[in-house]
Amino acid sequence: MIREIVRKELLEIFREGRFRVALLTVAILVVTAIGVGRQYYRQVNEQHEAARRNARSEWVSQGSKNPHSAAHYGTYAFKPKYPLSLLDNGVDKYSGVSIYLEAHKRNDAQYMAAQDQTALSRFGDLSPDFILMFMVPLFIILIAFNSVSRERESGTLRVMMSQGISPWKLALGKWLAVFTPVAVLTLLVFLVGGVLLANLEDFGLFSWWPLILLALVYLLYYGVFINVSILVSASVRKSSLAFVLLLGIWILSCLAMPKATSVVADALYPYPTQLEFEEQIAEDKTNGLNGHDPWNAESKKLEAETLQKYGVDSVKKLPFNWDGYLMQKGEEHEAEIYFKHYQVLKEIYQKQSKVYRTSAALSPFLPARFLSMALCRTDYHAHWHFADEAEKYRLMLVGRLNGDMVDNSRTGQWDYRADEKLWRAVPDFAYEPVRYQSIVEANAGHFLVLLAWWVLSGVGMLVAVRQMKVF
Amino acid sequence: MLEAVNLSKSYNGVSALKGVSFKVNKGDIFCLLGANGAGKTTTINLFLNFISPTSGQALINQVDTAQQPLATKKMLAYIPENLMLYPNLTGVENLHYFSALAGRKYPSAELTNYLNEAGLREVAHHQRVSTYSKGMRQKVGVAIALAKKADVLLLDEPTSGLDPKASNEFAALLKKLSELGVATLMATHDLFRAIETGTHIGIMKEGNLVESMTTDQINHQDLERLYLKHMN
Task: Express each pLDDT in B12-29 by its tens digit.
Answer: 989 999 999 999 999 999
With beta carbons less than 8 A apart as the criterion, state whether B75 and B151 touch. Answer: yes
- Chain A residues close to B70, C-beta within 8 Å: 164-166
pLDDT confidence of residue B97 = 96
Q: B171-228: per-residue pLDDT in tens?
A: 998 999 999 999 999 999 999 889 999 999 999 999 999 999 999 888 889 999 999 9
B166 and B206, same domain (yes or no): yes
Give the chain A residue nearest B103 (alpha carbons): A1
pLDDT confidence of residue B155 = 95
B141 and B162, same domain (yes or no): no
Please indicate, yes or no, if residue B207 is contained in any of the structural domains: yes
pLDDT confidence of residue A115 = 61
B100 and B70, same domain (yes or no): no
With beta carbons less than 8 A apart as the criterion, state whether A409 and A318 touch. Answer: no
| C-alpha to C-alpha distance for A224 and B70, rounded to whole angstroms | 29
Mean pLDDT, chain A, as a whole number?
Answer: 88
B144 and B154, same domain (yes or no): no
What letter does residue B133 receive in the DSSP assignment?
-
- Chain B residues close to A4, C-beta within 8 Å: 97, 100-101
With beta carbons less than 8 A apart as the criterion, state whether A69 and A58 touch. Answer: no
Q: What is the spatial order of strands in the sheet that B29-34 belongs to?
A: B76-79, B152-156, B183-187, B29-34, B200-205, B208-214
Task: Chain A: give the shortest CA distance to residue B101, in Å.
Answer: 6
- Chain A residues close to B50, C-beta within 8 Å: 158, 161, 470-471
Give the chain B residue nearest A162 (alpha carbons): B73
pLDDT confidence of residue A119 = 53
B156 and B223, same domain (yes or no): yes
Task: Identify the domain boundary among B131, B148, B165.
Answer: B148
Does residue B163 have a pLDDT over 90?
no
- Chain A residues close to B101, C-beta within 8 Å: 1, 4-5, 160, 163-165
Per-residue pLDDT, averaged over B88-102, amounts to 95
Task: Chain B: give the shortest CA distance to residue A19, in Å.
Answer: 13
A158 interface with B at CB cutoff 8 Å: yes
> How would residue A194 be classed by pLDDT, with cut points 50, 70 and 90?
confident
Q: What is the spatial order of strands in the sheet that A98-102 belongs to?
A: A75-78, A98-102, A105-106
Kindly report which listed range (A62-71, A107-116, A263-272) carries the lowest average pLDDT score: A107-116
Does residue A155 have a pLDDT over 60?
yes
What letter does residue A379 receive in the DSSP assignment?
S
B56 and B117, same domain (yes or no): no
CB–CB of B83 and A155 under 8 A?
yes
Q: SS3 string of B146-206?
A: HHHCCCEEEEECCCCCCCHHHHHHHHHHHHHHHHCCCEEEEECCCHHHHHHHCCEEEEEEC
B48, B84, B102 ranked by CB distance to A156: nearest: B84
Alpha carbon A287 to its chain's center: 37
Highest mean pLDDT among A240-249, A255-264, A334-343: A240-249
Does residue A466 have a pLDDT over 70?
yes
pLDDT confidence of residue A297 = 80
Give the chain A residue nearest B48 (alpha carbons): A162
Question: If residue A190 lies in a helix (H) or strand (E), which one and from where to where?
Answer: helix A167-198
Task: Identify the domain boundary among B148, B182, B200.
Answer: B148
Residues 146-165 of B with CB under 8 A from A: 148, 154
Per-residue pLDDT, averaged over B98-122, amounts to 94
Residue A433: burial class (beta carbons within 10 Å; 0-12, 13-18, 19+)? middle
Identify the CATH number of the domain in which residue B10 sits. Answer: 3.40.50.300
pLDDT confidence of residue A293 = 75
- Domain enclosing residue B52, as ranges: 2-75+150-231
Task: Chain B: give the shortest CA distance to residue A12, in Å.
Answer: 6
Q: A330-342: per-residue pLDDT in tens?
A: 899 899 999 999 9
List beta partners, residue B202. Answer: B32, B212
Q: A368-424: per-residue pLDDT in tens?
A: 999 999 999 988 889 999 999 999 999 999 999 999 988 888 888 888 888 888 999
Task: Identify the domain boundary among B148, B168, B183.
Answer: B148
Which of B83, B84, B93 should we substitute to test contact with A (largest number of A Cβ atoms within 10 Å)? B84
B76 interface with A at CB cutoff 8 Å: yes
% of chain A with per-residue pLDDT over 90: 43
Mean pLDDT, chain B, as a whole number?
Answer: 93
Those residues whose C-beta lies under 8 Å from the C-beta of residue A232, and which sit 6 or more positions away, are A145, A242, A245, A246, A249
CB–CB of B98 and A1 under 8 A?
no
b/e per residue, A335-367, with b = 16+ CB within 10 A?
bebbeebbeeeeebbeebbebbbebbeebbbbb
Give the chain B residue nearest A468 (alpha carbons): B50
Q: How many other β-carbons are positioned within 10 Å of the β-carbon of residue A411?
A: 18
B141 and B161, same domain (yes or no): no
| C-alpha to C-alpha distance for A178 and A165, rounded to whole angstroms | 19
How many helices (DSSP H) and strands (DSSP E) are in chain A?
Answer: 20, 3
Please indicate, yes or no, if residue B80 is contained in any of the structural domains: no
Characterize the bridge pairing of strands B29-34 and B183-187. Answer: parallel
- Domain enclosing residue A30, as ranges: 2-467
CB–CB of B93 and A8 under 8 A?
yes
Q: What is the spatial order of strands in the sheet that B2-11 belongs to?
A: B14-24, B2-11, B55-60, B63-64
> How would residue B70 be classed by pLDDT, with cut points 50, 70 and 90?
very high
B141 interface with A at CB cutoff 8 Å: yes
Residue B74: burial class (beta carbons within 10 Å; 0-12, 13-18, 19+)? middle
With beta carbons less than 8 A apart as the criterion, state whether B83 and B137 touch. Answer: yes
pLDDT confidence of residue A2 = 87
- Chain B residues close to A165, C-beta within 8 Å: 70, 101-102
B47 interface with A at CB cutoff 8 Å: no
B68 and B118, same domain (yes or no): no
For chain A, how many structural domains are there in total?
1
Those residues whose C-beta lies under 8 Å from the C-beta of residue B84, and which sit 6 or more positions away, are A154, A155, A156, A158, A159, B137
Q: B47-65: per-residue pLDDT in tens?
A: 999 999 999 999 999 999 9
pLDDT confidence of residue A204 = 57
B158 and B217, same domain (yes or no): yes
| C-alpha to C-alpha distance for A258 and A104, rounded to whole angstroms | 38
Instruction: Look up residue A105 and give its amino acid.
Output: K
Please indicate, yes or no, if residue B62 is contained in any of the structural domains: yes
For chain B, how many structural domains are there in total?
2
Please indicate, yes or no, if residue B81 is contained in any of the structural domains: no
pLDDT confidence of residue A114 = 60
B171 and B195, same domain (yes or no): yes
CB–CB of A159 and B73 under 8 A?
no
pLDDT confidence of residue A199 = 77
Instruction: Look up residue A465 and give its amino acid.
Output: V
